Chains A and B, each alone.
Chain A
Amino acid sequence: MYKLLGKRALVLLAMLSFGLASVGHAAEIKTDKPFATKKIVLQISDPNPFKQTLVLNVASNLLKAYGSENIDIEIVAFGPGLRLLFAENVNKGRIATLSSEGVRFAACKNTIRGMGKKLGHPPAINPTAVKVSAGVSRIMDLVDAGYILIKP
C-alpha cells in the first residue's frame, strides 16, 4: 500500500515537476540583450489610434534615455491594440526602425483568431512581430521574469 502510494507520489511529484518545468520554460524570455539593466514590457490594447503613436514614442524615448544596449523592451499587442502590428499599419516604418534597435513585438494569437472571424480571414501581421498564444499571459510571463509593465 505504502509502496503503491509511494509510487503514485513519485509519479505525482514527477508530473508536478514536469509541469513546473514547463511553466518555467514558458516564462523563459529569449533576449538579445543579456547585459540590459532595464527590462520593460509595453502594453497596447487600446483602440485609440493616438495610443499607437504614444507606445512607439515611449519605446523610442526609452532607447534614447538608456541606450539600446542597456534596455530590453518588448511591446505586446492584443485586443484592439493589435492593429499596431497589422502589416499595412502606417507605423510599419517606425516599427522596423525600433526592431532594428532590438525592440521586440509580440502579437496575440487569440486576438488574431478573433479578428479573423470578423474579417473572414486572418489579418496580415507585421513580419517583425512574434505571435504569442495570448497577449496577457505573455505580459505575465515577462513580469515574472522581472520586466516592468507600462501601459502608456
Chain B
Amino acid sequence: MKLLKKAIITAALAGGMLAVGQAQAANWLMLQGTEKPGQAARAKVWGFVQVQYQNDNSDANKAGGYIPPKLTPPNLSSQSAFNVNRARIGARGTGMPLDSNVNYFVLVEFGNNGITEPGGSFAKLTDASITLNHIPGARIRTGLFKYPGAEEGLQAIHVFDWVNFTDVSNQMLLERFPNQSYTPNIPPQSIPTGTDLQGFDDGVGAFRDVGIQVFDSFMVGAAKDWDLSYALMVGNGNGLNFSDNNSKKDIYAYFSAEKVFKGKGPFREGMKFLGWSQTGVRSYDGNNDGVSENYDRDRWGIGFKLKKSNYRVTTEYMSGDGMIMVGVANPSFGMGPGAGKPGKPGNGLLAEADGWYLEGGYRIPKSNWELDLRYDTYDRLKGDKFEVEFKTWTVGAQYFFNKKTRVTANYASRNYEAINFPSGKGPNAQLDGVNGRASIQLTHIF
C-alpha cells in the first residue's frame, strides 16, 4: 500500500509537468528510450566490450570450502580469472528516418556474466524495444528494456565508474528469479569447485523487464534548466525472460528532477534528485511442498547525483520487502533453519533489507586520470537472527585513453558480518575470511 501511494504521488507530480516544454535526450530514460528528432539514423550500430581480471584474496572457511563472495564471478570456480564480462552489440535508430515519432533499440549480450552464465547461454537479448512518441508528454516504450529505477541500475553500464556493483544493488535489486521448483542450497565448495555454486536456473534480471512504459521529460524553470522526468511501467516481473510465470504484473514508478549545468548525453553536468518504486509478486515453491506460493516483492529508493566540473558525487538509499536473496548458492532463499521455511529465521522470502552507498570521483585536471572512492552498506534480513551487514570500501582509479576507451582499477575492502552471531558461528562460519578483492577492467565503446 505504501508503495502504491508512492507510485500515485510520483505519477501526480509527473502529471503536473505535462504542460511545459520537452527536454532533449539528456537523461537515462530519454537517452535509452528516444532518438534525436530529425537526426536519428536508420540503424546506428553500436556496442562495447569489457575485459577484466579479478583476484579475490579471501580465505577459505574454517571448516574448509569457499562460498560465492570468496570466488570470482560469474563462474565462481576460482579466486582469480580473466573474463570478457561484457560484449554487447546492438542497433538503434528509427526505421523510417522521415518519421521521428517511432524509434527502436536492440542489444545482445555475448559476454560471460550473470546474464549469460546461469543456464550456459551463448548470447542473450538484453534489449528490444520500440518507442512511440506521438502523444506529447506521454511517450510509450514497449518491449524488453531497463525498467525505471535506481540510478545504479538504470544508468548505462558502459559508463559505470566501477567494476562491480554495490552489495545492495547486486543482492537486493539485481534480481535472481526463483527456480521452477524448490531447489536445495549448495554447500561450500573446494577449489576447483566440483559443483556449480550458481544455484539459480536463469540469468539475473539485469535491471530489465518486458512490458510497457509511459514516460517523458520536460525542461522547466525561467532558464529552462530544470529537467523533470517521469516514468510509469507495467511489466512481467520476470527479467530477461519473455514470458510471465504468474498473472501478477510488476508496477514501476520513477520521478527525477535535475538542475542542468551544462553538456549533454551521459556526461551532462547537473544535480539530480530521484525517487522510484516497484512492486510485484513472484511465484515459487518456497516451502518445498510441491506447490508454488505467491510472494510479494517490493522495492523503493531515493537518490542524489551531482556532476560538476571535475567532481562527481552520488548517493542512493534503497529498501526491499520480500524476496530477499541470501546468496546465489542458496536458491531456497533461506539459510540454516530458514531454508525452505518462509517466515522462519534465515529465510528471505518474507524478510526485509535495505542499504545505501556514497560514491564520488575526481578527474585530475589536465590529465587522463580519475580517482574514485565508494562506501556501500547492505543490511540483509533486517531484524532477523540471521541478519548480515555487508560493508565495503572501494578505492578506484580510471585512466581514459580517449572518450571511448578507459581502464578501471578497483580494490574493495569488504567486511561481512552476521551481527547476531560471534565469529565462527552461524553465517559467520562462512563470512569470516571474506577479504579484499582487486579488479581491473578495460572498456571500449564503439
Contacts and interface: CB of A to CB of B under 8 A. Distances in A.
Interface of A: 47-49, 52, 80, 83-84, 86, 88-91, 115, 118-119, 123
Contact of A91 (B25, B39, B40, B97): B39
B293 interface: no
Contact of B38 (A48, A89, A118, A119): A89
Interface of B: 24-25, 36-42, 96-100
A49 B100 contact: no
B98 A123 contact: yes
A80 B97 CA distance: 9
Contacts, number: 39
A88 B38 contact: yes
Contacts of B98: 83, 115, 118-119, 123
B99 A49 contact: no
B36 A90 contact: yes
B37 A49 contact: no
A118 B37 CA distance: 18
Contacts of B40: 49
Nearest to B264: A90
22 contacts: A47-B41, A47-B42, A47-B97, A48-B41, A49-B39, A52-B38, A52-B39, A83-B38, A83-B39, A83-B98, A86-B100, A88-B38, A88-B100, A89-B37, A89-B38, A89-B39, A90-B24, A90-B25, A90-B36, A90-B37, A115-B98, A119-B99
A129 to B, nearest CB: 12
Contacts of B37: 86, 88-90
B27 to A, nearest CB: 15
Contacts of B36: 49, 90
B333 to A, nearest CB: 47
Nearest to B38: A89
Please name the 5 residue pairs, one residue from A and one from B, whose CB atoms are nearest each other, closest first: A89-B38, A90-B36, A86-B38, A88-B37, A49-B39
Contacts of A119: 98-99
A150 B42 CA distance: 26
Contacts of B100: 86, 88
B78 to A, nearest CB: 45
A115 B98 CA distance: 7
Contacts of A86: 37-38, 100
B227 to A, nearest CB: 15
A49 B100 CA distance: 13
Contacts of A123: 98
Contacts of B38: 52, 83-84, 86, 88-91
A47 B40 CA distance: 9
Given A80-B97, A88-B37, A118-B98, 4 more contacts: A49-B41, A86-B37, A89-B37, A119-B99
Contacts of B25: 90
Contacts of B24: 90
Contacts of B41: 47-49
Contacts of B96: 118
Interface-central residue, A90, A115, A123, by most chain B CB under 10 Å: A90
A90 B97 contact: no
Interface centre among B25, B38, B98 (most CB of A within 10 A): B38
B348 to A, nearest CB: 46
A144 B99 CA distance: 35
B223 to A, nearest CB: 13
A85 to B, nearest CB: 8
A120 to B, nearest CB: 10
B39 A90 contact: yes
B41 to A, nearest CB: 6
Contacts of A90: 24-25, 36-39
Contacts of B42: 47
Contacts of A84: 38
A49 B35 CA distance: 11
